[in-house]
Chains A and B, each alone.
Chain A
Amino acid sequence: AQSVSQHNHHVILSEAASLELGCNYSYGGTVNLFWYVQYPGQHLQLLLKYFSGDPLVKGIKGFEAEFIKSKFSFNLRKPSVQWSDTAEYFCAVGGSYIPTFGRGTSLIVHP
């Protein structure tokens, strides 16, 4: 069975601060890893994904994530957040056709 753990449920930052959201997964096979974002009032959308190759993946809006196989982690990072990054962030693991989502992290960025 696959599972995902997001350690930070609520994060509050000031603009220009750096961001790192933790994600650990459990899955025995080859994984596809995702970060999804849900802005207030909008639907879930893909931020970035990892399926093979370079473990450092870059997504939209300056986000990046690093796959560390030995740690079963796929942490999301952004060097300088903006007020518009206020949203819910979900990590997901999708080794099979049925992804499993973490419970999400609520990020609030103060201007």
Chain B
Amino acid sequence: DTGVSQNPRHKITKRGQNVTFRCDPISEHNRLYWYRQTLGQGPEFLTYFQNEAQLEKSRLLSDRFSAERPKGSFSTLEIQRTEQGDSAMYLCASSPPPGLAGAHNEQFFGPGTRLTVL
């Protein structure tokens, strides 16, 4: 399967613990996005990478959230000192470079990591 993969698929943690999620994008995609989705809502943008550079970060993203994409391939999203309000589905998506045939900012999504904070 050459789609976007995310691990783990489910994570249950206690409030105050740190968690880390991983995303492996489609190999030729240089753009990578993290979103958060809660029940009844659309994906909410968290952060965006182009290659290894983190170019955008949502103002809604607290300092407890950090993301990396060290070699421009996979990415990790870490949440420190988790709170119950962090419970959500965390989605990763990737996009091909603009200018490639058919590349118009459409995104390819992974299955998501469902986080439950007790």
Please report A residues at the B interface, Cβ cutoff 8 Å.
Answer: 4, 9, 32, 34, 36, 42-46, 49, 51, 90, 92, 94, 97-104
Contact = CB atoms under 8 A, between A and B. Distances in A.
B112 A99 contact: no
Contacts of B110: 43
A32 B48 contact: no
10 contacts: A32-B104, A43-B109, A43-B111, A44-B43, A44-B91, A94-B104, A98-B45, A99-B107, A101-B44, A102-B42
Interface in B82-113: 91, 93, 95, 98, 104-112
Contact of A43 (B40, B42, B48, B112): B112
A92 B110 CA distance: 17
B33 interface: yes
A12 B93 CA distance: 29
B41 interface: yes
